[in-house]
Structure 1
Amino acid sequence: MAAGMILKDRYRLGRFPLAHKGMGEVWAGQDTLLDRPVIVKFVNAAAPDIDVVRRFRREVLLTARLDHPGVPAIYDVGEQDGRPYAVLQQIHGISLSDLVAEQGPLSIGWVAAIGAQISCVLLAARQIRLVHRDIKPSNVMLDKSGAAKVLDFGLAALPDDDRYSRITQSDQSLGTVGYMAPEQILGGPTDHRTDLYGLGATLFDLLTGRPPFDGVTTTTTLRHQLDDPPPRPTHVRSETPAVLDDLVHALLATDPKDRPATATEVYAVLAPLAQDLVPIPGVLDDPAGAVRAYAAILGRAPLQPQRLAAAPSEQTELDVERTAEQAEQLHTAGEFRAAARQWRQLADHQAQRRGGDDPLVFEFRLRAARAHVPLGEHDRALRQLNLLLQERIRTDGPRHAAVLDLQQEIEQLTKQRSAPRQSSRYERNADH
């Protein structure tokens, strides 16, 4: 490609390429028809490998399927001298990796604001069963309005669609060391919780200025991810709020089942912390930019947990009484995780049919949260109980008997969490 080259009699390339990233060469350009700046991304080689072309095209198709303001829009596709290209929305901003390198750890408010926006993108991705599989600071940009944009869907997959699930003919496991989830490292199946792990690693990086796992070699880094307990931001940055520290710790859980259930749960923790969004020198100098950024977050807020398209096994009407009885039996038999899953299913079912304020929704979610206590997952239980407490306060006020009871339960569990544990998380997982 050459400076000033015109594609399709419409897109004029800039003076020089911006970067070579992964399998693509990236140029700034101008859409002369609509008079707007664009980004043009080419496959690298003059005679590219067929597998590289296939990966490039699947990235474009998957990005186009995710229609969300937190993802750069795909405007056009084409081919020039045998090299496929895509024309994308130009983002005027900075990657989070460059932002941390220049500014150091970000303020708590901005970490929460950025994380809340990424959560909304992940929530939208889950609606179409899309897994990004490479969430990390260099794949997220902060534009001049304070809005976060998730980039690079080159490793994304639709687990239920063979056209998009495989990356290469060998179906090899790919990702970024230090940010890829343990199930990716081991070549296992991935789902939305894989992206939640990447989000947790990104939040840790923004809070501390360093990745959560960082060894001398790739092998030692991977070994830390698989064998070491998830790190806590407070060990590096003591002023990190406890609720944020617990969230990041849970997102980085080795076992996907120990992570938050959905991006909605993550958003509910982060959004209230997105306050005091001060200007970021050289990036967001206008104080009003922080206000616009927070407005952008609210505009993407999942006000009610969105119901995924039901799998065939879920399309029949639930027998609430019978399912609740089954959950109780599972809990009595010591199958606490299965019981929690069943109670969450009941809560979602009831909320969809009778609204989130139905008393049974609260009761089922409360039982699901409590089921994690005998598993030793106190942090996860506390996180869910605190969310329920916030909802109850909004509904009934701070002096309601149910609110006071729940506050007392949270205080007791917090003390219990601080006491020495009888077994490690790995021993518990082996038992269950």
Structure 2
Amino acid sequence: MWSVKLVVQVKLLPSPEQATALAATLHACNAAANRVSARAYEHKVFSRARLQKLRYAELKAAGLSAQPALHVIRKTADAYTTLHALIGDGLLGPEGSKRRRKATSKPIAFRPDAAHPFDDRCLSWRYDARTVSIWTTAGRLQGICFTGKPSHLKTLAEHRKGETDLVLRDGTWFLYATCEIAEAEQYEPADWIGVDRGIENLATTSDGDNHQGQALKRYRRAQARRRAGLQAKKAAGSRSAARRLAKRKQRETRHATGENHKISKQIVADAQRTGRGIAVERLDGIRDRVRLKRHQRATLSSWPFHQLGSFLHYKARRAGVPFLEVDAHYTSQTCPSPWCGHVSRKNRPTRGQFSCVACGLAGLADDIAAVNVRQRARTAWAFVTMPDPDPKPSGRDRGDAPPARQPAAMGSATRRDHRASKLGRSRPRR
């Protein structure tokens, strides 16, 4: 049985004495992580096992208990694993670039109040009393109250599994708990909803729904103006402008996350109600491929398009809605007519309009792209669910009747994605 991992946030309500102990614990754990990070960087030792062998005794001598010491080591090793993965994927630039040199020229450092993980040995929950018991450097604290949304508290009580992060944000304490929820049984889709994600229109479906709206456009323009004003003041040396910029960034991030949640929730609900699946474009490397005008670059970088796809994916898995990613190439340049299918840049006379030069079909470019995504999902799903050839002899040489071909099992998600990724790349006609 597959499961979906969610992170549930609850707010802690510690007393002043408890808050002081929690802050001292974060400072001690992050200071220890900085020492481990410095030694790891110095000796080029980054694996959990080797770091534990080298630094565990020192952390114990510094006053940390066994499990917190192990969490400090794992936290440091995971940070270096993430850094090396970013370098390997080229996300920090080529070798010798300024950004990459900055990331690799010194040990990874942790803020004094950075989040720290706790497992069930260090943190226990009492859901009925809504309190937690947590290890600190001053001893174990009992009866710290917590609160949250009713739906979050229900999910927490029924599905919590794994580690919990202690987080201090803007003077408020939170616990981020990991929950594992079993996927709903996936049904056979009657059809597909194609979803085209874009810069001007965040999401356009093959049903003709456009998830953007003038209000959101106005919000993004207003935030850009305010951000530009604060950046100018920051460049002039204003510290208050720097603080306001940081708070504004957090506010914009929360707003974008909320909008993506609303959009993905509505699309998944429509698909579940009509018995259809959801198909989106695979946008890997989109920032490196697309050519944008200057005023569009900030929009591409400021809005989390990948987050929208992630929300669609996990919400679909929870609801049992089939989900596919298809090739994104030429979806807005391909004529969706089954009698045409012409592919050409000339089919896009403007950014927002589509007009096929071969058959004359016209419409909004985002709507056309969503229809093409839906068509590619139909093809990919038919290929994924087609019966596999029987590798055994049919028995005809022995005079036996050939065995009936059995439909192949759906297979793992990796197998489905691999099959689907081989499909649907349209190429321009010459």
Question: TM-score, structure 1 length as denominator?
Answer: 0.25
Return the structure number with greater relative CO, CA threshold 8 A, min gap 6.
2
More strand by share: 2
